[in-house]
Amino acid sequence: MHLDHGNDFPERHTHSAEAIRPDGTRRALRIGLGGPVGTGKTATVAALCRALRDELSIAVVTNDIYTREDAEFLLREAVLPPERISAVETGACPHTAIRDDISANLEAVEDLEDQVGPLDLVLVESGGDNLTATFSRGLVDFQIFVIDVSGGDDIPRKGGPGVTTADLLVVNKTDLAPYVGVDLEGMARDAKAQRGDLPVAFTSIKAEGGVRPVSDWVRERLAAWTAENAAA
């Protein structure tokens, strides 16, 4: 143990960035998507862009550990014009870049606002991580935690800060439930026990209209955010 460094840790970001930017415009609402590897975070980002891009000005920041895979997928799928998609290569544990040292992500978000703004919504996808990964409130206003049924129906019961405290818990790939022997009602009960009144969306993101519960939730958050900062 190191006991000789005194109380000199860097300050943790625990509050949101100001709603009003230096030029007097309102910044975008920032929503983070985290969760274990392969649960459907990028698929959710893609589906949200397709569902909302005609009504909102959107940009996306992706995080991968060593590559730009997720950004390249979104570019290939043309879910947004290329200048609205930015990739951060974290080079370390994914949660470090969304919770502990958020500077690369914050810079990516601010650059997007400067270059293609004004924006209504910025989606920040974390690299796939474990059940403890959460976003700093200094980076995002709300966070969505995406798990899937193929990880097993005990995941909500296992809890962890993603499952218990995320502003929206998404349980994705419900289409696979019969193939992996998962009890969706049991998952819903366990999630309720862990989360109380916080919302849970069961989705099959790849199905036509499957993102609807998530896009509706995003619209509600955005309406509240806009009303709260109406003076801008």
Q: Which residues of this protein are in contact with Mg ion, per CB under 5 A?
A: 41-42, 70
Burial of 66 (0-12, 13-18, 19+ CB in 10 A): exposed
CB of residue 230 vs ligand GTP: minimum separation in angstroms? Answer: 34
Q: Is the Cβ–Cβ distance between 45 and 34 less than 8 Å?
A: no
Q: Given candidates 41, 95, 137, 195, which one binds ligand GTP under the rule CB under 6 A?
A: 41
Q: Given candidates 61, 70, 162, 182, which one binds ligand GTP under the rule CB under 6 A?
A: 70
Q: Please give the residues from 8 up to 37 whose contact with ligand GTP meets the rule CB under 6 A.
A: 37
Query: Cβ of 227: how many Cβ atoms within 10 Å?
Result: 8
Token pair recorded at residue 110: 């601010």
Which C-beta is closer to ligand GTP: that of 136 or that of 203?
203
CB of residue 51 vs Mg ion: minimum separation in angstroms? Answer: 18
Q: Given candidates 16, 152, 175, 212, which one binds ligand GTP under the rule CB under 6 A?
A: 175
Within 8-154, where are the H helices?
Answer: 41-52, 69-76, 94-95, 103-116
Q: Is the Cβ–Cβ distance between 59 and 84 less than 8 Å?
A: yes
Annotate each residue in 80-119 with x if it binds ligand GTP (CB under 6 A) or - if it does not, as one string. ----------------------------------------
Which C-beta is closer to Mg ion: that of 194 or that of 203?
203
Partners of residue 123 on adjacent β-strands: 31, 60
Residue 44 assigned as binding residue:
no
- What gap in Å lies between CA 134 and CA 143, rounded to an integer? 8
Helix (H) or strand (E) run with residue 146 in it: strand 142-148
- What gap in Å lies between CA 197 and CA 167, rounded to an integer? 10
- CA 49, distance to chain mean position in Å, is 13
Which C-beta is closer to Mg ion: that of 42 or that of 174?
42
CB of residue 73 vs Mg ion: minimum separation in angstroms? Answer: 7
Residue 180 assigned as binding residue:
no
Chain residues binding ligand GTP by CB under 6 A are 37-43, 70, 128, 172-173, 175-176, 204-206
